Structure 1
Amino acid sequence: MAPRSLAALALAVLAAGALTGCAGYYYGDKYGPTLALSPHADMVGSSYAAADALLQNAPLDARAPVLVTTLVDLDHLGASSRFGRVVSEQMAGRLTQRGLPVPELRLRESVALVPHEGALLLSRELREVSRAHAAQAVVVGTYAVSSRQVFVSLKLVRPEGNLTIAAHDYALVLDEELRSLLGLR
């Protein structure tokens, strides 16, 4: 196949992926492959892209643990949902895939788990739990639901001084699947 035909085929495949909402990989940062998404990405892809974005902007030691807490409802900071727990699980999974150690908070007695809420940390607990795990940073986040979207805000916070070292925001279209995870009818 001629080089010109290969280039045209590659462009066609990329265009088809963009139209169907498929994700692709590109390489080049210190944490391995980074996921690039189309605007119509799924929830898993959006969570992975958010984790990648946090890592891209954060000066982290790849050997030191990073904790991931449950995303909470912006209007009720002591509450979460299946959506908040699932996004947190996906973020933790992606950080692990990228080579960072991510302790499982549900297995530790030092973190108070609220039934049906997940691992929720108040700022005063952040330092204690981080010390117990020797964590260099903690992923915290909120979500807010509008009539058509779910807005997610994530921060990577250093436990000492509660200093935000990276942040990422994104929105998901509020479809029936997300309504179910949020407990909305």
Structure 2
Amino acid sequence: MKKNLLASIVINVLLLILVALLFKEYSKAKAELCFFKEHNIVSEKNKDVIKIDKADPVYIYNSRKFPCDKDNGSGLGYAICTFERLQFADSLLNNVVKNRVKEFDDFIKRNKEGAEKAQDNTYFVNCLRINLAAKENFIKSQKVWEEMRSLNSEDVKLGCDGGSGCTGITNDAEIKYVLERIEKIKIGGPCF
């Protein structure tokens, strides 16, 4: 009887130690997990803070679940799914382009108002000139990008011509090209 009692006590002590160790590991893992703040996901690991903007179009695209993801095994299913994804990526790009043009227009309006109010100040005049030229260049670069997209798409199509998944492969290439364009548009901007 004493042996059973002693064995039971030893096993319970070992279990308590094991539970304490597991809890310590759980607490450590929990500290490394992401926690959410408004539009940002913040992860603290090794004292580095990584912020991901949940309003970012590329993040939105990558986190979106499409209904066709479940059934794209055939060449036709793959083509339909990638077409659906491409349309969504295009809609995100169109919003980014419209927002950038609106941003230019807002700054141009402010620069005009500032130039009228402070006629001796060249800051607003310079920013107005820069923003007008930058808007014009942005619109031109978007048109050139659209031509390049068409040429790149044609190039990919020639590379897989005759294959059952060629349309899907071409759509995937366009999606990648569209997402890269969104990233590049996010970098530049108007003069403050």
TM-score for the superposition, normalised by structure 2? 0.25
Larger gyration radius, structure 1 or structure 2: 2
Higher relative strand content = 1
Higher relative helix content = 2
TM-score for the superposition, normalised by structure 1? 0.25
